[in-house]
Amino acid sequence: MMLIFLFISVFIIGLYAFVLVVLLLSVQRSKLVNTSEWSTKVSVLIAARNEEKYIERCLRSVLSQRYPSHLLEVIVIDDCSEDATSQLAQRVLQTSSIAHQVLSLNETGKTGKKAALEYGISKASGELIICTDADSFALNQNWVSAYINTYIAKGAKLIAGPVLYTKTKGFLVAFQQIELLILNLVSAGTFKLKKPVMCNGANMAFARKVFIEVGGYEGNLHLASGDDVFLLNKVSAKYPDALTYLFSKESLVYTAPADNINTFIQQRIRWAGKFKHNSNFFNAFIGLVSFAANVWLVLLIALSLFFPQWSNYFILLLAGKCLIDFLLLFLGTIFFRQKQVLIWFPLATIIYPFYVCLAVVAGVFIRTQWKGRKI
């Protein structure tokens, strides 16, 4: 029996290490193409619900972009907010000469982020659609131009970019940052392998005609999240060679972290819930390998409490997993200048296996809330 457990432990950590090392070796810093001869119209879409705290910061970052104002359009789609999101957006946008619209999803009788984005796209005039979230912002004023230059130079149909949290003080926020740093690298690696498994809806772009061509969010509108990954799957299936991950500091977007444990849990359950609807084989494979490594760790921890002789297998698996996770995280912290989160890595390593197991199970069986809505 112990030999079987040893074999399983070595197999799982070996497969886990192999997958992540392959992805890591595939990550490359994007070489940006610079041009001042722009002629492509861009529409920046922001779906917002109850975001009066952040909407102004988001819009200011868009309005400060170094891109010809006559080629830029900003569209805010208010998803039935119960606060002053719409009024604040209108006030900020009126201070700029950039073309803008503040739409209300109430006009359509629909609700939800996907419905909001579809409505915004139907009103957009841009050839390229750039999506970000109302609680997010780009510090770099070349964010839009980085996307458009990549779109033109590579003929990309869909482009994704990295996202980080705005602050890292305290364990809860650092834990989220550690997870996001690793996910950014995994995303970049899978895009390079032409097997993209995920992107972040707070920082992505796609050709408007391609969105229409693949049917937009049709078939997924009933799901509360997944506006990013389900669209990615559709575009990837039709144009596998025309997807790009813009791994550069110019393309980086910052977003607000969950600031309390309840919001964090609700958010993670919502995220985990969309993967049971994901038909992407490579996504399922990577998710299964990661889940298996964490489940096996939890199992070995439980066995070690009652049978001390099992502790050697737990230490073996934990050491192997920690090594590859730390390598990924360390490289991520160097590129994104986030070394301060490394001090939280030991504690995060202990908690993470339990967190993954609970989040996946809860995502399958529990309905959660998002901004006052049961989903």
More confident residue, 225 or 242: 242
Q: Which of 80-94, 265-279, 314-328, 354-368 bottoms out in mean pLDDT, i.e. has the lowest?
A: 265-279
Outline where DSSP puts E strands in the chain: 42-48, 72-78, 99-104, 128-133, 136-137, 158-160, 163-165, 204-207, 243-245, 253-255, 369-370, 373-374
Q: Where are the alpha helices (DSSP H) in 27-133?
A: 55-63, 85-93, 113-123
pLDDT at position 123 over 90: yes
More confident residue, 125 or 305: 125
Fold designation for 27-257? Spore Coat Polysaccharide Biosynthesis Protein SpsA; Chain A (3.90.550)
Residue 272: per-residue pLDDT = 72
pLDDT tens-digit readout, 92-119:
999 999 999 999 999 888 888 999 999 9
- State both tokens at 23: 């992805």
Phi, psi of 352 (to 5 degrees): -60, -45
Q: Report the predicted TM-score, pTM, of the whole model to 2 decimal places.
A: 0.91
SS3 113: helix
Rounded Cα–Cα distance for residues 207 and 238 (Å): 13
Rounded Cα–Cα distance for residues 162 and 181 (Å): 9
Residue 69: per-residue pLDDT = 94
Q: Name the residue ranges covered by the structural domains of the chain.
A: 2-25+280-364, 27-257
Short-list 360, 303, 294, CA closest to 4:
303
- State both tokens at 117: 């984005």
pLDDT tens-digit readout, 279-311:
777 878 888 898 898 898 888 888 888 877 777
pLDDT tens-digit readout, 192-224:
999 998 999 999 999 999 999 999 998 776 666
Q: Read off the pLDDT band of 58 (50, 70, 90).
A: very high
Residue 116: per-residue pLDDT = 94
Mean of pLDDT over the chain: 88
Q: Read off the pLDDT band of 42 (50, 70, 90).
A: very high
Short-list 38, 63, 58, CA closest to 48:
58
Residue 344: per-residue pLDDT = 95
